[in-house]
Amino acid sequence: MLFWVFVFLLTRQSGLTQGHPNLLIRTSEMSCDCTINSCRTLFDIIWGCLATIFACTWVALHQNVPDPDLGYFALLMRKLRMMLVTIIAPEFVVGFATRQLVSARGISKEFNVSKTHGFFCNMGGFVSEEGHPVSKMKQLPAYIPAIQKIKTADIEDKSKGDTLSKGVAIAQGLWFVTQCLARVSQHLPLTELEVATLAFAVLSVIIRLLWLHKPLDVQQPIVVARSEIDIDPLQEEDISPPNDGITPIEKIWNGIFGDYGTYHPISSTSVPSFYSIEIDGKDGYGLAAVAGVFGVGSIFGSIHCAAWNAFFPSMSEMRMWRISSVFIAAYPVLTILLMIANGAWAADNDIAAAVFAILYMVGLVAYPLCRLFLIILSFTTLRSLPPSAFMDVNWSNYIPHL
C-alpha cells in the first residue's frame, strides 16, 4: 500500500506535459540562482543517474562461483552479460535472488548451518575432491559433516564485500530515493532518466537485502571431503552430457524459475549463472520465483508510470513512454492470467493452446522492446528540459542551518 502511495505522489510531481499548459507557464517562470549554488547542470543529472545505475547493476550483482579455469576476459564478459540482463529485465534477477534466499534458508534449517553456508552451496562454492560442485540436495548429507566444520567467517573472508560495504551500497540507493522524494516535496520535476534510475534504485535495495548473507565475487570454491560412511548419491548413471541443443526460450525459463533438470554436478566444474538448489517438497521455492519475477516486475513498470505527467519534447515520445511503462507494469499480471487460463482451457483444446503460445511469444518479444524504448527515451528527452529541472533541492528546508 505504501508503495502505491509513493508512486501516486511521484505521478503528481510538478512536471511538464503538453496537456497541462498551466504547469508549463508556472514552471517556466521558475529559475535558479547559480550564485547561491542552487543549480545543477545536465552533466550532474546524467552523472548522478549513471553512477546509481552502475551501482544498481554492476556492484549489486552477486554471481555464482565461476568455472576455475575461466580467464580474466571470460569473467568480465560473464559479468557484463549478467549486467545486461539486469538492465533489460531486473525483475528476473530479483526472482533469482529470492529463489536463492528461500533455498539458503531451507538448507540452513535442515542441516543446522548458517544462511551464509546455504548461499555458498547455492552458488557452487563447495566442491568435491574431484572438483565437482556439491549443488544438489541429495548430495549434501554426504558432505555436510565437512561443510559444518567450515566457519562462517572463513566463507565471508572469500567475499569481496562485507555487511558494512553492502550496507553503504543500500544507503546509496536509499539516498537517491530520498533525493527524488525531496524534489517531489518541493514541486521540482524529475527527468525521465531520474525516474528510470529510481526504478533501478528501488530494485537494487531489494536485491541487496535478499543477498545480504551471500558472499560477493567469490572466484575459487572450497574443497570439502566426502564422509567416509557415505557416498555421493549422484552415481555414474545419473551423468548426462551437457545439453548444447537447449533453446534460448528454455534458457530464459531456466534462469527465471530455476528449472535445471538437465544439469548434473558430476559432469560439471561449476553451476549455471542463475542456478539455485531446489528444495524438495517446499512450495515456497516455486512461489518465490513467481513473486520475484511477476510482483517486482509490476513494481518496476509502475515506477516508470510515475513520469506520466512529466515533460516530453514531443507527443510521440510521451505516448511511447506511457505505452511502454503500462505494458511493463501490466505484463506480469497478464502473464499470470494467461497461465491460469492455459491450465484451465488449453489442456484439451489445441486451438486454445496455440493461441496462448502465440500470446506468450508476443509478450516475450514486446517486453524487451518496451524496456529498450524506456532506456532510449530516458536519454533522448534530456535534449529539452524545463528550467525547473535544473533547480537543486533546498535541503535547508529539512535540515536547518545546512
pLDDT digit string, tens, across residues 84-102:
888 877 878 888 888 888 8
Answer whether residue 104 shows pLDDT above 80. Answer: yes
Answer whether residue 17 shows pLDDT above 60. Answer: no
Main-chain phi, psi angles of 133, to 5 degrees: -60, 140
Residues forming a β-bridge with 313: none
What is the number of other CB atoms lying within 10 angstroms of the CB of residue 278?
20
Answer whether residue 12 shows pLDDT above 80. Answer: no
Tell me the average pLDDT across 1-7: 43
Pick 283 or 292 by higher pLDDT. 292
| Confidence band of 286 (pLDDT split at 50, 70, 90) | low
Would you say residue 1 lies in a domain? no
Which amino acid makes up residue 343?
Answer: G
Domains in the chain, number: 1
| Confidence band of 241 (pLDDT split at 50, 70, 90) | very low
| Confidence band of 269 (pLDDT split at 50, 70, 90) | confident
Classify burial at 48, counting beta carbons within 10 Å of its beta carbon; exposed 0-12, middle 13-18, buried 19 or more: middle
Question: Does residue 133 sit in helix, strand or coil?
Answer: strand
Q: Measured between alpha carbons, how far is 293 from 95 in angstroms, rounded to an integer?
A: 5
Would you say residue 268 lies in a domain? no
Q: Which three cell numbers stand for residue 114?
A: 548458517
Task: Please name the residue that has the C-alpha cell 566463507.
Answer: 155
**pLDDT score, position 121:** 93
DSSP letter, residue 222 = E
**pLDDT score, position 326:** 92
**pLDDT score, position 346:** 57
**Spatial CA neighbour of 339 closest among 372, 318, 363:** 363
Q: Measured between alpha carbons, how far is 46 from 310 in angstroms, rounded to an integer?
A: 17
**pLDDT score, position 91:** 77
Would you say residue 51 lies in a domain? yes
**pLDDT score, position 62:** 87
Answer whether residue 244 shows pLDDT above 50. Answer: no
- Judged by average pLDDT, the poorest of 81-90, 233-242, 381-390, 393-402 is 233-242
Would you say residue 7 lies in a domain? no
Would you say residue 171 lies in a domain? yes
Q: 295 to each of 8, 185, 233, how far by Cα in Å?
A: 18, 28, 37
Give the domain extent around 140. 39-229+246-259+285-396
Tell me the average pLDDT across 289-303: 76
Name residues whose C-beta falls within 8 Å of residue 372's C-beta, 6 or more positions apart in sequence: 88
Answer whether residue 110 shows pLDDT above 80. Answer: yes
Tell me the average pLDDT across 356-381: 86
Q: What pTM was estimated for this model as a whole?
A: 0.76
**pLDDT tens, residue by residue, 180-207:** 888 888 888 889 999 999 988 888 888 8
Would you say residue 99 lies in a domain? yes
Q: Measured between alpha carbons, how far is 211 from 204 in angstroms, rounded to an integer?
A: 10
| Confidence band of 142 (pLDDT split at 50, 70, 90) | confident
Q: How many CA atoms lie within 13 A of 161 on its CB side?
A: 21
**pLDDT score, position 118:** 93
Q: Which three cell numbers stand for residue 4?
A: 502505491
